Amino acid sequence: MKNIFLLILVVIGVSFSGCKPSLYKHFIDIPSNVWQKDNVVIFKVEMEKPIQKADVRLAIRYVEGYFYDHLKVNVKRTSPSNEVLTKDINIQMMDKEGNYIGEGMGDLWDIEQTLDNGFEGFGEAGTYQYEFSQTMDDNQFPLVVEVGLIVEEIE
């Protein structure tokens, strides 16, 4: 019995040894699963120390039935010293055959888009603010369930 318990602990330890701990991971629900153009999703990321290289990703959870092949989003990041970076990104949600991109579970799909070109580093300690807004032609953009931000340190 003791050997089985020890084996289970070893398997669990090995399973989690390759996982990178997230510095920040948070999701915000989109009311009624309709992302309004004026609904700016805001994340505040506290960095206790400067980090030169990080994997920063925008995460979108959407419902099957999403009928566009992409999602246009504006990203704005404000550093603790009020340096502002902005970027418009186009997230491919479907491939050329009309299949959803990302990881699906039931009727929910998750997709992550890496933010690069200046968004990878945190050169100073303090609070960074990320603002995401949808910039599609429609004021109301349906079937978006959650918007998230994931930050992992790269060693």
pLDDT 10s digits, 100-124: 999 999 899 999 999 998 898 899 9
Q: Give the C-alpha distances (Å, rounded to integers) separating 135 from 38, 47, 53, 71.
A: 10, 28, 28, 8
Domain boundaries, the chain: 21-153
The residue ranking higher by pLDDT, 55 or 17, is 55
Share of the chain above pLDDT 70, in %: 86
pLDDT band at 21 (very low <50, low <70, confident <90, very high): low
Separation CA 53–CA 89 (nearest Å):
20
pLDDT 10s digits, 132-142: 999 999 888 89
Torsions phi, psi of 8, nearest 5? -65, -45
Query: Is residue 56's pLDDT more than 60?
Result: yes
Comparing CA positions, the residue from 114, 109, 67 lying closest to residue 91 is: 114
The residue ranking higher by pLDDT, 67 or 11, is 67
pTM of the model: 0.83
Query: Is residue 125's pLDDT more than 80?
Result: yes
Query: What pLDDT score does 4 carry?
Result: 45
CATH class of 21-153: mainly beta
Query: What pLDDT score does 34 carry?
Result: 96
pLDDT 10s digits, 74-105: 999 999 999 999 999 999 999 999 899 999 99
